[in-house]
Amino acid sequence: MIELQKVNFILVLLVLLFFSTNIWANSADRELIAEAGKARASLVKELLATNSFEEDTLNAALFAAIKRGSKDVTQILLDAGADVNARTNNSFTALIQASQDGRHFVVEVLLAAGADVNAIAPNENNVTALIMASQTGRHEVVTLLLAANANVNAYRADGMTPLMLASQEGHRRVVPLLIDAKADLDVSLDNGATALMIASQHGHLSAIYALIAAGANVNAQASNGITSVGLATRYRHQEAVKLLKDAGGR
């Protein structure tokens, strides 16, 4: 009877030890992610030195550091074993997230660590890091990605390319970078729209000028027959109409 009580007592202790260990681990996990999100490099180092973390926790902390824009904490977590090509639930890689957010110092760290520069996010319209950086006008990131051989003619599931997106948003510092990287000027969507047509529809003069100067087809037609001049006219962008017509647009 006494032996049975001893066995039961030991079992209870083991159960308590198991749960207390798990609680402590979960607490440390949360603390690491929180401190990474606050860019507290010294505390992150201390936690890593005194605890053992699963890769999933390191990856979650990595994304927290990236969203904060912390180059130092990003490097620390990569050195500790975080996966440079880890993905979030929406299928963004670390590089796609950093590129969208314009964290160029973080992008440098990720590229140096071997991040896949042309990875796509299948759950998010097949975007790439360059597509997101171009759409959001992150010219410093675009420069880094192009230097790392990002595919300048990558396209989303809907056919939009980096040049089309930058032209649509009128990002005057991004459009020339993509043109210089030999982006296809006249590739079109299923409806026949080109980057120049998109820029003309939105009246973005700097994009229109850069595309014309690079040799974009000023008289390309969409599937309904409308041209860049027609789009600029329809949306009452008179300066754009003049610029296009001066370049031979009809």
The string of pLDDT tens digits covering residues 117-149 is 999 999 999 999 999 999 999 999 999 999 999
Where along the chain do its domains lie?
A: 185-250
User: What φ, ψ does residue 178 adopt, rounded to 5°?
Assistant: -70, -40
Residue 3: per-residue pLDDT:
53
* pLDDT for the residue numbered 26: 84
Q: Cα dihedral sign for 140, 145, 148, 151?
A: negative
For the chain, give the longest Cα–Cα distance.
102
User: How many Cα atoms are found within 13 Å in the side-chain-facing hemisphere of 175?
Assistant: 26
Distance CA 137, CA 206 (A): 14
Encoded amino acid at 110, one letter = L
Q: Among 20-24, 54-58, 132-136, 235-239, where is mean pLDDT lowest?
A: 20-24
Mean pLDDT of 219-244: 98
* CA–CA–CA angle 231, 237, 238 (5° rounding): 115
Q: What is the pLDDT of residue 19?
A: 37
Tell me the per-residue pLDDT of 142-173, one tens digit each, with 9 for 90 and over. 999 999 999 999 999 999 999 999 999 999 99
Contact by Cβ (8 Å): 161, 169: no
- What token pair was written down for 209? 């000028």
Share of the chain above pLDDT 90, in %: 89
Report which of 192, 163, 158, 193 is spatially closest to residue 175, judged by C-alpha positions: 163
Average of per-residue pLDDT values in the chain: 92
Cα 162 from Cα 154, distance rounded (Å): 7
Taking residues 39-68, what's their average pLDDT? 97
Percent of the chain with pLDDT over 70: 90
Average pLDDT of span 218-237 = 98
Indicate the SS3 state at residue 51: coil
Question: pLDDT confidence of 8, banded at 50, 70, 90?
Answer: very low
For residues 196-216, average pLDDT: 98
Any bridge partners for residue 127, and if so which?
A: 121
| Mean of pLDDT values over 174-189 | 98
* CATH for 185-250, options being 2.60.120.10, 2.60.200.30, 1.10.10.10, 1.25.40.20: 1.25.40.20
- 44 sits in which H/E element: helix 41-50
